[in-house]
């Protein structure tokens, strides 16, 4: 099952910190799995839960950027949407603190409220009339708004670049489905949007601290090796079903003959770390989703969580080597 990455970042100008992370992930492939947990609020209740149960913290922490979307239609938001936005505010500061205090790995998820024509939770297709295919048309309103939103988010990412903090960046996630506006017109359109973002962020904004994570397990939607450092997929298995996810790994690697690092970018029920230590399926990392998935025993029992975090194969925060040196921004 060993698939060693070529270690060449897709961005030829990638920072030394990006290279260090990719080298580490490659070295550990099949020798250990990085534990990860998504948090979408500043409270980070999931981290407190994990530490209470296991006495440890994950090596990777995920953060949500939905509240930073420039085009939220607040007047149409219901109370649930407003609460989600409000609780997500300030998570970039929390991410910066996690990186500077612990030197842990960070990854960002962006439930992007569509650049135009949205209501309520406007990242969902059902709540947006935004036609992603029109972004591909030069001079269209959709294209202009798309780039405007990207520029705003780039301004939030630049302090991380300046502080020498690498980010596992996973835009346009779950592009195999049609539930988000970016893939409502198909996987190929979503992959084109990803390419536009890559080119804009690399050539215009010089965001050389980004590690580019593609998040779609379908070969027909693959964006191409030139834009990807890590291939990944999201999984939500039944509660308390813990395996090494070997079948899902074999499916994922079919999208490219190139040996790419692989990750479980979102998962509801954690994989079996014990099985992974035996099968050596080289998942680089997994990131448990938030709320009931990572902050309760509804999907993963306390016993299973404790066994996973204390397995010698699990890379928790205390086992993670120093991969980057944060710089103070003046």
Q: Catalytic positions, please?
A: 174, 266
Task: Report which of 201, 218, 215 is spatially closest to residue 62, judged by C-alpha positions.
Answer: 215
- Residues with Cβ < 8 Å from 41, sequence gap 6 or more? 87, 88, 91, 290
- Rounded to 5°, the CA angle 167-284-164 comes to 20
Q: Which helix (H) or strand (E) holds 273?
A: helix 273-279
Contact indicator for 44, 101 with CB cutoff of 8 Å: no
Task: Count Cβ neighbours within 10 Å for each residue of 289-318 and write b for 16 or more, e otherwise.
Answer: bbeebbbeeebbeeebbebbbebebbbbbe
In a 10 Å sphere around its CB, with 0-12 CB exposed, 13-18 middle and 19+ buried, how is residue 226 labelled? exposed
């Amino acid at each position: 099952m060993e698939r060693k990455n070529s270690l060449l970042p897709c961005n030829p100008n990638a920072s030394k910190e990006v290279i260090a992370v990719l080298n580490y992930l490659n070295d550990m492939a099949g020798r250990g799995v990085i534990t990860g947990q998504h948090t979408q609020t500043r409270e980070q209740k999931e981290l407190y839960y994990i530490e209470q149960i296991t006495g440890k913290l994950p090596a990777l922490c995920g953060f949500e950027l939905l509240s930073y979307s420039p085009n939220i239609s607040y007047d149409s938001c219901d109370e649930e949407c407003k609460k989600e936005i409000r609780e997500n505010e300030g998570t970039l500061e929390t991410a910066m603190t996690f990186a500077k205090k612990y030197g842990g790995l960070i990854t960002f998820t962006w439930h992007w409220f569509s650049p135009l024509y949205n209501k309520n939770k406007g990242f969902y297709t059902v709540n947006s009339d935004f036609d992603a295919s029109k972004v591909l048309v030069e001079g269209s309103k959709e294209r202009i708004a798309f780039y405007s939103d990207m520029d705003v988010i780039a301004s939030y990412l630049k302090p991380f670049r300046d502080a020498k903090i690498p980010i596992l960046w996973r835009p346009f996630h779950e592009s195999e489905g049609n539930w988000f506006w970016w893939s409502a017109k198909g996987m190929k359109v979503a992959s084109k949007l990803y390419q536009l973002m890559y080119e804009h962020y690399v050539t215009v904004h010089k965001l050389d601290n980004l590690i580019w994570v593609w998040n779609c397990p379908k070969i027909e939607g693959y964006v191409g090796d030139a834009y990807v450092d890590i291939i990944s997929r999201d999984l939500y298995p039944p509660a308390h079903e813990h395996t090494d996810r070997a079948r899902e790994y074999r499916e994922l690697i079919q999208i490219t003959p190139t040996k790419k690092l692989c990750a479980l970018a979102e998962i509801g029920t954690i994989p079996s770390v014990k099985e992974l230590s035996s099968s050596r399926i080289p998942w680089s990392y997994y990131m448990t989703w938030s709320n009931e998935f990572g902050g309760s025993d509804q999907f993963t029992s306390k016993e299973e969580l404790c066994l996973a975090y204390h397995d010698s194969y699990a890379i928790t925060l205390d086992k993670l080597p120093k991969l980057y040196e944060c710089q103070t921004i003046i």
